[in-house]
Structure 1
């Protein structure tokens, strides 16, 4: 299986599975990020994440502990 990469500008959309592979997390966690509004997605057939949304997510949360962010979200 070919490993997905962020640096392919021709890759505009990623499936949930591809997004999980890129972020090195499981698919359920990708859905959690989407459902809590941390990661934008579109429904085009099945749910997909744009390259732009993925890069914005990484830029916004770079260096932060996401476990703490999610814990704060569940307390609200």
Structure 2
């Protein structure tokens, strides 16, 4: 019998807690954004497979709002 795939969510090298069955978008929007406001505009990358785990990574958008290029 094949073991079910697990899901893991990472941001900046830190594993984020997530309820079982949550989608990557739900984790990003509902959980992570409460602790990491910069994730509101983050990209979801993945999954990459590590053993029996699907790893999703939240990556901040490039650039910083309000910074001038002078």
- What TM-score, normalized to structure 2? 0.25
Larger helix percent: 1
Flag the structure with larger Rg.
2
Larger strand percent: 2
